[in-house]
């Protein structure tokens, strides 16, 4: 399977892991900042940390209800999402006050909320039922690898330099967004009600190797 479908699947896995890696990494940074600079802890800190997640959740629900099975739209939304994340992370360099910082951070959460539902639809529909469990479980594992890697790596970046941390994160999302643009190609869709294995979303994906 990965011999023929590996490029776009690897890109999709990397994109999902990157979204959660950056999200939880930045939340780790924000949590540390709230404690050390603002002496905010407990329920109030948790409420503030929930703001970016609320934006992501709302965007994900809206995106999931709008994309349907339109592959071209999914690809465009993924690219837009990574663009928003890149702009947000690069702009955070210039904001140190709490309220503007969270407002700009919310833009990256919106980007994450745009990307994840599209990736879910592409991956779960990429193969037939016989292989779907393996592909989706691997995707889930890779995503949570990003969750686990976020805090320790961002702690190292925080000890390096704040500016470097945000610019490195922006560079990562930019590169992954470009990979999605280059390695996930879609063909013209034909309307069909056939949900058989031979009519999976992957049949409508054109890889750069083709």
pLDDT at residue 173 tops 70: yes
Is residue 8 very low, low, confident or very high in pLDDT (cuts 50, 70, 90)? Answer: confident
Please give the DSSP secondary-structure letter assigned to residue 93. G
pLDDT at residue 6 tops 80: no
* Over residues 74-79, mean pLDDT: 94
Is residue 123 very low, low, confident or very high in pLDDT (cuts 50, 70, 90)? Answer: confident
CA–CA separation, 30 and 71 (whole Å): 35
**Mind listing the domains of the chain with CATH numbers?**
2-187+194-206 (1.20.1250.20)
Specify the pLDDT at position 193.
47
pLDDT at residue 2 tops 70: no
Q: Which residues contact 53 (CB under 8 A, 6 or more apart)?
A: 27, 109
CA–CA separation, 168 and 196 (whole Å): 43
* Over residues 111-127, mean pLDDT: 88
Q: Is 126 exposed, middle or buried (0-12, 13-18, 19+ CB in 10 A)?
A: buried
* Over residues 74-103, mean pLDDT: 96
pLDDT at residue 209 tops 80: no
Three-class secondary structure of residue 95 per DSSP? coil
Is the distance from CB of 15 to CB of 78 less than 8 angstroms?
yes
If one compares 7 and 118, the residue with the highest pLDDT of the two is: 118
Could you tell me which of 64, 69, 32 has the C-alpha nearest to residue 49?
32
């Amino acid at each position: 399977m990965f011999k023929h479908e590996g490029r776009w699947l690897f890109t999709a896995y990397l994109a999902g892991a990157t979204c959660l890696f950056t999200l939880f990494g930045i939340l780790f940074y924000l949590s540390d900042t709230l404690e050390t600079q603002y002496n905010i802890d407990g329920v109030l800190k948790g409420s503030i940390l929930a703001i970016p997640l609320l934006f992501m959740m709302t965007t994900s629900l809206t995106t999931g209800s709008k994309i349907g099975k339109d592959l071209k739209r999914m690809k465009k939304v993924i690219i837009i999402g990574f663009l928003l994340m890149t702009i947000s992370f690069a702009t955070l360099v210039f904001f140190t006050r709490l309220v503007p910082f969270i407002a700009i951070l919310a833009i990256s959460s919106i980007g994450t909320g745009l990307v994840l539902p599209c990736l879910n639809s592409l991956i779960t529909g990429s193969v037939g039922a016989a292989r779907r469990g393996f592909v989706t479980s691997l995707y889930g594992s890779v995503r949570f690898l990003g969750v686990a890697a976020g805090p320790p790596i961002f702690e190292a970046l925080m000890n390096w330099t704040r500016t470097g941390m945000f610019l490195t994160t922006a560079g990562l999302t930019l590169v992954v967004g470009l990979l999605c643009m280059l390695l996930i190609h879609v063909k013209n869709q034909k309307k069909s009600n056939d949900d058989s294995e031979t009519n999976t979303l992957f049949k409508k994906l054109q890889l750069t190797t083709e």
